[in-house]
Amino acid sequence: MTALAKPQIAAALESASAVGKQYMEMLNLIERLHRQLLDVIKDELDRRDEREINSVQALLLFNVGDQELTAGELRTRGHYLGSNVSYNLKKLVESGYVHHERSELDRRSVLVRLTRKGEAVRDMLRELFERHLISLEAVGNVGGSDLESMNACLKRLERFWIDQVRFRL
């Protein structure tokens, strides 16, 4: 090894260590932010005296939105784990937030869509997130360009993780 190579190797190792710390911090932040979002939703449900559903179920209703989906589609969009989505959809059907019926095309699939009661929760969350948008920059110091670059980075990270699983990298 030449005398010139040693400093380059040391610099590369130091850079990798710094990136590793940033990567681990980002993993922790993603997990904490998801839990915090659920806490924000729970707080809104509590303020509106909505005790029949939990924050995970409310977010599921928000993500169904105006669409008619299968449980599998919700799973593949990355919102929920398999048993989690099945359990919560069952509870939401029982509580009258979601209507379900067998697909005409594939009798094994069950299509779900929101009832009026589910639409009310979806609208409640839509209003909550719209209120957040009003003060996001002024109070949270998060602007449009911040969101744009963060979303671009998170999409690249998502693609990276998908490829890790798909191609067993």
| Domains, the chain | 51-166 (1.10.10.10)
H/E stretch holding 129: helix 116-140
Q: Please tell me the predicted confidence (pLDDT) of residue 56.
A: 92
Q: Please tell me the predicted confidence (pLDDT) of residue 86.
A: 83
Residue pLDDT tens, the chain, 169 long: 566 677 777 777 677 788 899 999 999 999 999 999 999 999 999 999 999 999 999 999 999 999 998 877 887 765 666 568 888 989 999 999 999 988 777 767 789 999 999 999 999 999 999 999 999 999 999 999 999 999 999 999 999 999 999 998 8
158's tokens: 């998502």
Residue 43's nearest CA partner among 132, 116, 137 is 132
d(CA 103, CA 91): 20
Q: Please tell me the predicted confidence (pLDDT) of residue 104.
A: 74
Read off the pTM.
0.84
Q: Alpha helices of the chain — where are they, by DSSP H?
A: 5-47, 55-64, 71-76, 82-94, 116-140, 144-166
Q: Please tell me the predicted confidence (pLDDT) of residue 85.
A: 84
User: What type of residue is 161?
Assistant: W
Q: Measure the CA angle with vertex 127, ends 113 and 96; round to 5°.
A: 30
